[in-house]
Amino acid sequence: MTKPLAIYTDNEDIDPTPGIRLLEQSGFTVRFLETLDPERILAESRGAQALLVGYAPIPDWVIAGLPDLRIISLISMGFDHVDLDAARSAGVWVTNLPGVATEEVATHALGLILATTRDFPFFERAVGVDWNARPAVTPPRLSKKTLGLMGLGRIGAKLAGFASSLFGEIVGYDPYLAQNPEAVARLESLGVRLAGFEEVLASADVLSLHLPLTPETRGIINAESLARMKPGSYLVNVSRGQLIDTPALAHALDSGQIRGAGLDVLDAEPAPADHPLLAHERTIVTPHVGFLSDHTLAEYVRIQAQNVISLSETGEPETVPVVDPR
């Protein structure tokens, strides 16, 4: 009997060896392409039942060209790099890793909030040059400030729990939030007051983004929305770089409308050396590592592989799918 074929397209900086071992023990033939190129993925994945994807784009024509494909198993929470409609039409499951790195990403967001509002970049530059240097704007006392959350899913809610004892108020907006008493009560128990998009923009001293990238959220933080924020406020993004209009944010930082930005994601990754937000004196940029911990490195690889194995053995993946084609 021919073994089913599983293809790892790319895996960035995560070692897929434990996942490969799991798949092989479950009867799969496994190949690792190590490419982000959709044309190469299509050419070298003929006959594959499973694609295990890192950040490679999987457009409709790749899905259409792989008639044996049953599942696209992602190693991320985000899924904007896969054509979900095409997968659904082709009867292909799509799975992600919901909740695996919730604690890590929320912790990273809190770290960026603290580092940005405490003006770590300024003080780091001052050490060894002028020990007594002080920034033009003194760091704020957070207990007298408002944290705004755009997105109140697992990560946004976890951050609210972390931040509730630090900030004077937390206001939150989520266009995808289930409008039921249980959801509202859960957020209220975390100290979150629900508000509309415009109110969160206008009231937040620190705005933290926790939204998925969709056609509706792409560029949601643009020149207009930045102008509606409080002068001298702060922006943090650990979700997707494309939520932010980069030139608009660079301009807002230059003008002082936005005092500082803490970013774990950018609109281009890896970021080019001349990216306008990389060297800006009012930004802290980390290289999309909010998910990273000893726990997540192991679990990301295991669950990505297990979703493929579970679908083969039981007819359903281990995690709740993004696309269930049944």
Residues labelled catalytic: 240, 269, 288
The C-alpha atoms of residue 45 and residue 30 are separated, in whole angstroms, by 11
Q: Terminus-to-terminus CA distance in the chain, angstroms?
A: 27
Tokens of 252: 């807002």
The C-alpha atoms of residue 146 and residue 268 are separated, in whole angstroms, by 30
Tokens of 180: 């039921």
